[in-house]
Chain A
Amino acid sequence: MSATQKVHKKSDLILRSYVAGVLIFLLLPIVIVIPLAFSQDASMVFPPSGMSLKWFERAIARPEFVTAFWLSAQLAVLSTAISLTLGGLAAYALVRFRFMGRSLYMGLFLSPLIVPTVVLAIALTMIFAQLGLLRNFWGLVIAHVIITLPYTVRVLSASLSEIGRDVEEAAMILGATPMRMLIHVLLPLLRPGIISAGVFALIISFDEFTITLFVSGPGLYTLPIEIFNYAEFYSDPTIAAISALLILFSAIGIIIIERFVGLRNVFK
C-alpha cells in the first residue's frame, strides 16, 4: 500500500465517523422517547427504573387525545384528497404544457415552502377572521390544502415527467377517448406517484403544528396541539407513549413510500 493510499484510508475513516456522528445526532432525539414510553416511573426520568404499558393505556384512555386523533385523521384524509386532485391537475398542466408564466406558476405553488411559517400562519389568521373561517373545520381544511399542495404538485410532477408522452399518444392513436386514456392508462401508470404523494400529504397534514395552532381554537385541537397542551401542564411519560405511536405511524408511511417509489425519488 502506498503512502497516499494510506492517507486516503485515514481521511475516509474520519469522514465515516463524522457522518456516523451526524446520524446519531439525527436519530437520538427520535429514538430516545421509545424507552420512556415503556417506563413505569411517574416522570420522564432517564434511564427508566422499570417497564410498563400504563402510559400507553393512559394515553389511549384520555378523551381529549381520542377526539383530537379523530379530528386530525379526518382533516388529513380530506385535505389529502383535495390536495391530490388539485395537485394532479396542476402537475399535468405544468409537465405536459408549455405556456407563458409556467415557472411563475411553479413558484406560486411552491411558495408556502419558503415563506417563513409564522408569516403564513398570521396572514391566514387575518384573512380567516374576515371570512369567518377562524376556529372552523373548513378553515383548517383550506389551511392544510395550502400546506400540502407544494408536496403533491412536486411529487406528482416528478412521476408524471417520467411517464413519456408517447404512452398517452399511443392510447389516443388506438382510439381511446381522453377519459378512457386517463382511467386505463395514465392513472394506473401514475399509481406509485399518487400513493407517495398521498402518504406525504397525510403525514404533513397530520403533523402540522404552527399554522394549525393559529387558525384553530378550543374544541378544534388536532393531536399535535393536544400533545403540546398536555406537555405544558404534565411531565409524565404519556406524551412519550403518544410520540412512540406517532413514530410508528411515520415508520409505516416511510415504508409505504419506500416500497412504491423510494424516498430518494421524492426528494430528488
Chain B
Amino acid sequence: MSTVDKLSLMDEHKPKWKPRRSGRRILLAGLLAPALIVGVTVACTFLLMVFVSFQRRFPGDAEFTLYQYALFFQDSYLLETALRTIALGLVTTTICGILGYPVAWFLVMSSSRHTYIVFIVILAPLLVSIVVRTIGWTVILGNEGLINAALLKLGVIQSPLSLMQSFWSVVAGMVHVLLPFMVLSISSVLGKLDRSAIEAAMTLGATRSVVFRLITLPLSIGGVLTGAVIVFCLTVGAYLTPLWLGRGSVQVLALTIRQQVMDFGDWPGGAAQAVLLAAGAMTLIVIVSVATQRMGRR
C-alpha cells in the first residue's frame, strides 16, 4: 500500500459500509425474525390451549362454554390434587429458601478459598440429568437403600421403612433439583448489596442478628422473592419427580393433566387444568413483582 493510499484511508474516518436507517430496520427484522417465529409459535400454542379449555369436546363445534371449569371446581378429587400441588410448591419453596440463603450468603460474603468449589457444586447438579438425580433418590430412600441399610445395621429398626411414595420424598427430590435456582437468585442480589451499610452498623455496635434483620434481609428480599417465584413455578409444573418418587401415591396436577389428556383422551378437561395451573403461577408472578417494585420504591 502506498503512502498516498494510507493517507487517504486515514482521511476516511467513517466506515465504508454504513447501514442507512431503512437498512438498519431490515437488518433488525432479519435478525429477530427467526427467533421471533419460535416465540410466536409458543404464544399461539398457549392460545390454542386456552381456546380448547373453553370447549365441551375437541375437535367439536367451537362453542364457548365454561363446562370444563365448572367440572373442575365440582370435582373434590381434582380440588384436593390442586391443593396438594400448591402445598408441594409452598413447602419446596420454603425449604429451598431456608437451605439456600446461608449458602448464598457464604458464596458472596465469605473470604474462604473454597467459595469457588462451593459454586461449582451448587451449579453442577443443574447439568446432571434429572432422571439420574431421581434414580439417586431411589437409591437413598428405597427399601434396600442407603437410609434403610444404615438404620437396619444400627439396629434402630427391624424391618425397612417405606420412605418412598410419600409427600416428603417428593419434597426431597424437588428441593434437590431446584435449590441451585434459589441460591443463584439470592446470591446475585447479595452480590450487589452495599457492604459499607453492614460495616457501619457493626461499627456502631449492632449484633450480627440485628444487622441481618434490619439491613441484609430487607435489602436482599428481592432476590429471595425472585428465587421463590422460579422455584414455585417449576415445582407446580414438575412431572417426573412426583411421578417417580411419589410412585402413584402423591397426586399432583401435572400428573392428572397427563392422565386426562393421554389416558382419557379428554383434551378440553386437561387444557382447563393446565390453564388454571398457568393462571395461578402467572398471578403469583404478578403479585410478587408488584410487591418487589413497591419495596424498591420505599
Contacts and interface: CB of A to CB of B under 8 A. Distances in A.
A246 B14 contact: no
Contacts of A207: 128-131
Nearest to B261: A122
B99 A116 contact: no
B193 interface: no
Contacts of A126: 45, 48-49, 52, 267, 271
Contacts of B287: none
Given A209-B130, A210-B240, A173 B13 contact: yes
Interface in B90-124: 99-100, 102-103, 105-106, 110, 112, 116, 118-124
Taking residues whose C-beta sits less than 8 angstroms from the other chain, chain A's interface range is 35 or more
Contacts of B198: none
A45 to B, nearest CB: 5
B70 to A, nearest CB: 20
Contact of B42 (A16, A146, A177): A146
A16 B106 CA distance: 8
A206 B120 CA distance: 21
A183 interface: no
Residue among B30, B39, B270 with most chain A CB within 10 A: B39
A99 B21 CA distance: 13
B237 A45 contact: no
Interface string B193-229: 0000000000000001000000000000000000001
Interface stretch (A28-36, A56-64, A187-195): A28-36
Interface string A11-47: 1000110110011011111111100100000011111
Given A44-B138, A210-B239, A246 B28 contact: no
Given A28-B136, A30-B128, A90-B34, A116 B277 contact: yes
A260 interface: no
B135 interface: yes
Interface stretch (B72-80, B142-150, B290-298): B142-150
A203 interface: yes
B31 A264 contact: no
Contacts of B34: 85-86, 89-90
Given A19-B103, A118-B238, 7 more contacts: A18-B103, A19-B106, A46-B146, A109-B35, A115-B46, A115-B278, A228-B131
Interface of B: 9, 12-18, 24, 28, 30-32, 34-36, 38-39, 41-46, 48-49, 52, 99-100, 102-103, 105-106, 110, 112, 116, 118-125, 127-133, 135-140, 142, 144-146, 149, 176, 179-180, 184, 188, 208, 229-230, 233-234, 236-240, 244, 253-254, 257-258, 261-262, 267, 270-271, 274, 277-278, 281, 285
